């Protein structure tokens, strides 16, 4: 079943802060334990831009970005048994090896399977080499184990979540990152209970997914915080009960939330901005005695969080989440089923659609405009 090299189009990020360029590349066949997929649709996540803009300490160039995609298996490498040619899959940057020896896969407490994390962070496949060559035959790095800004890509078998082939890949791709992360932060990482009070900082796709998850969990008060007031209309539609623009306050937003809007703070708060000052506000607006604050946003290289330890001494808990704590191969297919049976509506996240791999640059522009939640690029 192992095929020949494929020539196709891909967006190559040549250097930080430089627009990506469409190039003809060669995608080598999958090696043992790997799967080559045809990418049908890819949505842009803020993290792609963060790496493209040079803020990622693990950012390597030249590379092929992209990690929120819907794909069809084109060929499989030696030993691959869990997917076959023609299967529909969502590549997952948090893999799930399911080995009995993997303490992370065996624990219900975490989804952070480390099986291929080290090579993934170095832009390589698990055997330490790459599957992408440019037109001069030079190597191009992988990204987050996905590299879905290419018509074809190669991923590890343990990164493939096999989904219902009847699901629309142009929608289901969103479960590859942002939506799953926001929902899972609420349901898995924080386990928000009915009647909880919640504050969500940053109302992009991730923040909106947090609001949606909190509403589904039965939260009684959901405070949406953003410096862009245009975000509030959708926040309210999805369940926000209050909206706050911190720039219009004359006191710190955490004092406004814990003091004026609530007596002692919120039960749960979420940072969906990646700004370390916002992370501090989110922690400090959490309820004295038990408030939990969850970091979702990814901070730029060199940025660190701080607060007075007194905030923790007096019972607040600071935690974080990767991919919303979902075990990817087990849980993503279930999320897709829930979308198909109407239990999780995600249509409102797709604000823009573009065609062709080159449409990725229009998606980048759209995400920068502040009006975009998710731009889906259909290849
Ligand atoms: P986005 O750019 O669409 O949304 C960010 C929002 O934050 C915007 O609405 C912006 O106006 C708002 N914002 C910016 N500065 C603010 C401030 N000071 N106060 C309040 N709001 C502010 O991004 P996204 O795709 O929704 O991703 C959000 C963050 O989550 C990013 O940092 C991304 O890298 C990260 N992320 C993490 C995971 C994970 O697994 N932990 C997964 C996906 C995304
Ligand atoms: N490379 C960065 C870390 C980036 C990061 O934290 N990524 C999130 C996913 S963002 C998806 O949009 C994550 O899940 N991290 C866990 C992991 O294993 O990477 C850095 O700081 O080095
Ligand atoms: Zn992402």
With a cut of 70, say whether residue 2 has pLDDT above it: no
The mean per-residue pLDDT over the stretch 158-165 comes to 98
What percentage of the chain exceeds 90 in pLDDT?
Answer: 98
CA separation for the pair 232, 238 (Å, rounded): 10
Residue 201, SS3? strand
**CB of residue 205 inside a 6 A radius of ligand 1:** yes
Q: How confident is the model at residue 1 (pLDDT cuts 50, 70, 90)?
A: very low
Longest CA span, the chain = 65
Tokens for 271? 């940072």
CA separation for the pair 156, 79 (Å, rounded): 12
Which residues surround the ion ligand 3 when the cut-off is CB under 5 Å? 45, 47, 177
With a cut of 70, say whether residue 207 has pLDDT above it: yes
Active-site hit among 1, 14, 98, 117: 117
pLDDT per residue as tens digits for the range 248-276: 999 999 999 999 999 999 999 999 999 99
| Highest CATH level, class, for 181-322 | alpha beta
With a cut of 60, say whether residue 117 has pLDDT above it: yes
Active site residue 46: yes
Radius of gyration of the chain from its Cα atoms, rounded to whole angstroms: 20
Active-site hit among 1, 102, 241, 338: 102
Q: What is the CATH number of domain 6-176+346-378?
A: 3.90.180.10
Active-site hit among 177, 272, 285, 372: 177
Q: Which sequence spans correspond to the domains of the chain?
A: 6-176+346-378, 181-322
pTM score over 0.90:
yes
Ligand nearest to the CA of 243: 1
With a cut of 70, say whether residue 108 has pLDDT above it: yes
Ligand 1, atom 29, lies closest to the CA of: 297
CA separation for the pair 142, 47 (Å, rounded): 15
With a cut of 90, say whether residue 311 has pLDDT above it: yes
CB 1, CB 31: distance < 8 Å: no
Prior bond of 111 cis (ω within 30°): no
CA separation for the pair 105, 141 (Å, rounded): 27
Tokens for 8? 């196709």
Beta bridge partners of 355: 378
210 Cα: distance to centroid of ligand 1 (angstroms): 11
340 Cα: distance to centroid of ligand 1 (angstroms): 27
The reply to whether 181-322 shares the fold of 6-176+346-378 is no
Say yes or no: ipTM exceeds 0.90. Answer: yes
CB 18, CB 149: distance < 8 Å: no
CA separation for the pair 212, 74 (Å, rounded): 35
Quick one: pLDDT at residue 50?
97
Q: Roughly how many angstroms between the first and final C-alpha of the chain, as a whole number?
A: 24
**CB of residue 50 inside a 6 A radius of ligand 1:** yes
CB 85, CB 37: distance < 8 Å: no
The mean per-residue pLDDT over the stretch 318-324 comes to 98
Residue holding tokens 């501090």? 280
pLDDT per residue as tens digits for the range 164-206: 999 999 999 999 999 999 999 999 999 999 999 999 999 999 9
Q: Whole-number mean pLDDT of the chain? A: 97
What percentage of the chain exceeds 70 in pLDDT?
Answer: 99
Ligand nearest to the CA of 252: 1
The mean per-residue pLDDT over the stretch 317-337 comes to 98
Ligand 2, atom 13, lies closest to the CA of: 322
Quick one: pLDDT at residue 3?
83
Active-site hit among 26, 47, 94, 273: 47
Active site residue 97: yes
């Amino acid at each position: 079943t192992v095929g020949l090299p494929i020539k196709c189009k891909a967006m190559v990020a040549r250097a930080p802060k430089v627009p990506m360029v469409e190039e003809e590349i060669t995608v080598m066949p999958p090696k043992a334990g790997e799967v080559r997929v045809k990418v049908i649709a890819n949505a842009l996540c803020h993290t792609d831009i963060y790496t493209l803009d040079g803020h990622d300490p693990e950012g390597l160039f030249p590379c092929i970005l992209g990690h929120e995609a819907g794909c069809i298996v084109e060929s499989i490498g030696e030993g691959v048994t869990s997917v076959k040619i023609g299967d529909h899959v969502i590549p997952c940057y948090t893999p799930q090896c399911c080995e009995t020896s993997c303490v992370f896969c065996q624990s219900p407490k975490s989804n952070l399977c480390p099986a291929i994390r080290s090579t993934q962070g170095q832009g390589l496949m698990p055997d330490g080499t790459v599957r992408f060559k440019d037109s001069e035959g030079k190597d191009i790095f992988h990204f987050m184990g996905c590299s879905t800004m290419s018509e074809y890509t190669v991923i590890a078998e343990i990164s493939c979540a096999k989904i219902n082939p009847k699901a629309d890949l142009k929608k289901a791709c969103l479960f590859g990152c942002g939506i799953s992360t926001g929902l899972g932060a609420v349901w898995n990482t924080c386990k928000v209970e009915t009647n909880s009070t919640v504050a969500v900082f940053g109302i992009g796709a991730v923040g909106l997914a947090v609001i949606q998850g909190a509403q589904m969990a039965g939260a009684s008060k959901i405070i949406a915080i953003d410096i862009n007031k245009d975000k509030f209309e959708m926040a309210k539609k999805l369940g926000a009960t209050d909206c706050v623009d911190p720039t219009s306050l004359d006191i710190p937003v955490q004092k406004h939330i814990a003091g004026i809007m609530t007596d002692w703070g919120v039960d749960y708060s979420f940072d969906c901005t990646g700004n370390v000052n916002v992370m501090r506000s989110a922690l400090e607006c959490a309820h004295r005695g038990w408030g939990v604050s969850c970091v979702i946003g990814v901070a730029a290289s060199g940025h660190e969080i701080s607060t007075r330890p007194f905030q923790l001494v007096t019972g607040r808990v600071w935690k974080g989440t990767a991919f919303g704590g979902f075990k990817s191969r087990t849980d993503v297919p279930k999320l897709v089923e829930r979308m198909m049976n109407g239990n999780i509506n995600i249509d409102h996240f797709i604000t823009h659609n573009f065609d062709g791999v080159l449409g990725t640059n229009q998606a980048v522009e759209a995400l920068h405009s502040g009006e975009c939640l998710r731009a889906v690029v259909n290849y």
